[in-house]
Amino acid sequence: MRTVDLSSALARLPENPRVVVTGNHATPWETLKLVDEALPSYKLWALNGQRELPDREGVTLETSFVGPGQRKSPRLAYFPSRLSLVPLFFDQALPPDAVLLHTTRPRGGKVSMGTEVNVLPAAIEAAKRRGGLVIAAVNEHMPYTFGDAEIDVDLIDVMVEADVPMPVAPVTAIDEQSAYIGQLVADRVEDGSTLQAGIGAVPDATLHGLTGRRGLRVWTEMFSDSVLALEKVGALDRNVPITASFLFGSPELMEWVDGNDRVHMVRTEVTNDPGRIAQNPKMLSVNTALQVDLFAQANASRIRARIHSGFGGQTDFIVGAMHSVGGQALIALKSWHPKADCSTIVPLVDEPVTSFQMSGVVTEQGVAEIYGRDQREQARQLIEHAAHPSVRDELREEAVELGLADPR
């Protein structure tokens, strides 16, 4: 690795600066290590920070979506926010002094942020307005994507060579329960629908169940190989770009998106704007949760009061999908938590609520229809169609206590 005047540039930063770094699975680790070695104390902002983040005295880990590299740190500063509103932080409460990107090598006076756009354009703009520093770790292995991923090289103050292989998503088997949940979700999808497509067993199973549909669109926060699978079989509308803010997947996916103008990488303020989401026809939003209670409130963020993740895009996409013509917002989860050995359908969540007012809740037990039902019918639907059979009698008793059912 060869640095280009990085040390002197970092020396000009103010005391205890705020550094925004590319998060998720696109963090430029070797360049971040150089930054960490040069700064005795600083605030490090990263969305979904992974396990190699610097976590030492002098470093404050800032985020609005907690990743495994931040989750149990005593130096974590969690800023609750819908993801669509996070970019506003950079202009107001949390101005960045430096932004560390992971990009392609320059092409025609531009670099591309490739797999990760997210909140970074807003961070770059805020940093430049206040005379801050933009550092690009340039990597020949980063795929070149278009849209808001492209940045003029004139905006970059320091380029660091960082030619390392890009991380790829592990191949995970879809278990029987996840496959059935995915099929229940897929059965609700019509031709011409717009998909919010994440990563994981249930989203993968859902999208694999849509190979027979036609004219599908993708407007999502992130996507993985399941979208490529739909493209291969002709399920996607080829006249509409795939719109996303970041991606993560296999080497084949990385090769496919490289230089592919079908893929439009867009900043978070756009992808997660509920008003823009609502403009998509038959918008399908599929998210998960840790718990859903009999009032159809979902906790997807906290475990025993400790922050586990954050709002993410769930609140944005649920609202947007519910306002879409023909749209629906689903919470998909297993009815029994295998690690905690407990029901995921509970009488009343005892953690802060992440979201509510969805179309339905889907488990391997079936589909609980929520939208347009009164609170008693919502509770009945959740007990009869989503909860594990072993807890249904207990939930019925709790429903009576909560005023959601009459005594038998």
Q: Beginning with the edge strand found earlier in the chain, give each strand of the sheet holding 263-265 in spatial order.
A: 146-147, 263-265, 242-244
Evaluate whether 247 touches 224 at the Cβ level (below 8 Å).
yes
The one-letter code for the residue type at 21 is: V
Q: In terms of DSSP bridges, do strands 110-112 and 150-152 run parallel, antiparallel, or are they unpaired?
A: antiparallel
> Residue 403 and residue 408: Cα distance in Å, rounded?
13
> Residue 307 and residue 302: Cα distance in Å, rounded?
5
Helix (H) or strand (E) holding 146: strand 146-147
Active site residue 252: no
Residues in the chain: 408
Q: Of the listed 62, 221, 231, 269, which one is catalytic?
A: 221
How many C-beta atoms surround the C-beta of residue 12 within 10 A? 12
CA atoms within 13 A on the CB side of 402: 19
> Residue 49 and residue 23: Cα distance in Å, rounded?
6
Cα 238 to Cα 184, 218, 289, 370: the distances in Å are: 26, 11, 32, 34
Evaluate whether 219 touches 194 at the Cβ level (below 8 Å).
yes
Q: Which residues are catalytic?
A: 221
